């Protein structure tokens, strides 16, 4: 699949992703010294660590690529993060793009504001470890797993211009509510409703064990989701540069599919239920970390 990214755009997207990763890991671990201007000591580390690094770089990777396609193609899109303790990633991106500081001016975009951002995460008087209602841009709390896809479909029903990009963690995918929610596409009308773009994030593990969907073969996954009424696009790997190019090309293809389905419904009416695109993103747990 040919990438739409030029050399300069690739560098900018990668830099943005790495910045979001830094802001995320800082929220999990750092109490002080946000820019590491001083040698790191135990006094700078939070005594109790909450929030999970494992899912976070994947969430950040998806976020920056959705921002690119939103801007280039003028999309009306929201981001729903299913993996519960990936909260630092969503907060980091809201801060990086300036939205967080607009809503909470005391968390300013400077060293002092970054220190406050890091300290407040999962800290008394601060913010929760998951994407709580006070997080800018969030309609899904994420503190209890299994409801992200239901919320995504609920958001697009009778909202024909909206695309809800919904990240489903592979541990979350094993919950009863989520396993059933895949079938909500049977109720989606391409004329009167918007679109849900599920992004199944396979990083191999839930909290303590391997996950089922990460352990079955590529062909089994493909057959499973085609049986559910989707056309799965696979984005798999660990090399950031290759993955950036593949993800950009995949999202461009997905948007073309969505527009083709919507245009056909407007032109010919809804004669049969379409197969909607989805993405299977396979990355290492704790990607880019040691």
Estimate the share of the chain in helix, then strand, then coil, as percent rounded to the nearest 5. 45, 15, 40
- pLDDT, residue 120, reads 95
- pLDDT, residue 21, reads 98
Q: How far is CA 194 from CA 25, 139, 157, 167, in A?
A: 34, 16, 6, 17
Q: Can you give the length of the chain in residues?
A: 290
Q: Which is more confidently placed, 29 or 2? A: 29
- Residue 126: DSSP 8-state: S
- 148-163 per-residue burial string, b: 16 or more CB within 10 A, e: under 16: bbbbbbbbbbeebebb
pLDDT at 208 over 90: no
Give the CATH number of domain 7-282: 3.40.50.970
- pLDDT, residue 130, reads 86
Q: Decide: pTM greater than 0.85.
A: yes
* pLDDT band (50, 70, 90) for residue 179: very high
- Domain ranges (residues) in the chain: 7-282
- Residue 196: DSSP 8-state: E
- Region 256-281: what's the mean pLDDT? 95
- Region 198-214: what's the mean pLDDT? 91
Q: How far apart (Å, rounded) are the C-alpha atoms in residues 153 and 166?
A: 9
Whether 172 contacts 138, CB under 8 Å? no
């Amino acid at each position: 699949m040919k990438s739409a990214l030029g050399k300069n755009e690739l560098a900018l997207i990668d830099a943005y992703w790495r910045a979001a990763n830094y802001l995320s890991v800082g929220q999990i671990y750092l109490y002080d010294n946000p820019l590491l201007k001083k040698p790191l000591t135990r006094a700078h580390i939070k005594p109790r660590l909450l929030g999970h690094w494992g899912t976070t770089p994947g969430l950040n990777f998806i976020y920056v690529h959705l921002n690119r396609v939103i801007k280039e193609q003028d999309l009306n899109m929201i981001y729903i993060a299913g993996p519960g303790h990936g909260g630092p990633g969503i907060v980091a991106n809201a801060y990086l793009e300036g939205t967080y500081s607009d809503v909470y001016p005391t968390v300013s975009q400077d060293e002092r504001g970054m220190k406050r951002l890091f300290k407040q995460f999962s800290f008394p008087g601060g913010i929760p470890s998951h994407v709580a209602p006070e997080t800018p841009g969030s309609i899904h709390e994420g503190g209890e797993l299994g409801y992200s896809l239901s919320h995504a479909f609920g958001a697009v029903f009778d909202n024909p211009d909206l695309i809800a990009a919904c990240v489903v963690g592979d541990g979350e995918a094993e919950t009863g509510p989520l396993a059933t929610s895949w079938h909500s596409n049977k109720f989606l009308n391409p004329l009167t409703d918007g679109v849900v773009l599920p992004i199944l994030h396979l990083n191999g593990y839930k909290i303590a064990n391997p996950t089922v969907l990460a352990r079955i073969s590529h062909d089994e996954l493909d057959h499973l989701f085609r049986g559910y009424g989707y056309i799965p696009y696979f984005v798999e790997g660990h090399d950031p540069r290759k993955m950036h190019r593949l993800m950009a090309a995949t999202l461009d293809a997905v948007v073309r599919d969505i527009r083709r389905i919507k245009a056909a419904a407007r032109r010919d009416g809804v004669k049969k239920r379409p197969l909607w695109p989805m993405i299977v993103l396979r990355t290492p747990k704790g990607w880019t970390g040691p």
